[in-house]
Amino acid sequence: MKDCSQCIVRNRAICSGLDIHELDLLGRQGRKQKIAKGQTVFWEGDDVVVVANVIEGVLKVSMSMSDGREQIVGIVFSSDFIGRPFGQQSPYSVTALTDAELCIFSRSTFDSFARQHPELEHKLLRRTLTELDRAHEWMLLLGKKSATERVATLLLEMSVRLGETGCTVDNGALDTFELPLDRQQIGDVLGLTIETVSRQFSKLKADGVIHLPDRRTVSILNRARLQDISAAA
């Protein structure tokens, strides 16, 4: 990394609290890396040797069940941070759902830098608390919401997160976007069968809430209605 001040996620990434001098020091220790769709960045159970800011792209966070089945436990977007600072092993795998670009740091180097810069350590703590809040929200989603409410919630989150680096409307959210997940993966995330996911998409389309030009593209036609549905629980 030669000029972090020009990074497109500079104001939203974990390093946003650093001043120009600190940012320059950190940037000298990082490197950009292109990740192809389907490529795994971290494997569950492996030693964590690097950490990274996501510059562009969408990745999935998954864990394996005892019978070998995969459970998607999170989705990572542009400006998110991946890896396990101050940790030895990764409890999950991280795999690119789309072509992506990362700003990668050696974990040991990043850990040392964070210890010397309290603002970065505070950012790491806030990130951990945010992830904990998201986990609690997801427990509510899976435990209390109906299938329609789950799909509506995911679509709203996708529109906001994908809109953070795109042409946006309605407080930074996209009205039209391409889903990084297929129907089966959406089912895995939401605890639904692929058939149920397809039915809920069809229902939302028939009700005039969304439009589906193709299997991956979603256009939100009535955001207020979609928000009402997602918050119904």
Higher pLDDT, 194 or 167: 194
Using a pLDDT cut of 90, give the percent of the chain over it. 42
Between helices 118-144 and 20-27, what is the axis angle to 10°? 80
Residue 43 is classified by DSSP as -
pLDDT of residue 105: 93
Q: Can you give the pLDDT at residue 183?
A: 93
Q: What are the structure tokens assigned to 206, written together? A: 């028939």
Residue 183 falls in which region: left (phi positive, over 0), alpha (psi -120 to 50) or beta: alpha
| pLDDT higher at 10 or 217 | 217
Region 138-149 average pLDDT: 77
Tell me what pLDDT residue 6 has.
77
For residues 106 and 72, which has the higher predicted lDDT (pLDDT)?
A: 106
pLDDT for 165: 58
In this structure, the strands spanning 40-42 and 59-64 are: unpaired
| Bridge partner residues of 100 (DSSP) | 35
Domains for the chain: give ranges and CATH numbers: 4-139 (2.60.120.10), 145-230 (1.10.10.10)
pLDDT 10s digits, 111-120: 998 888 888 8
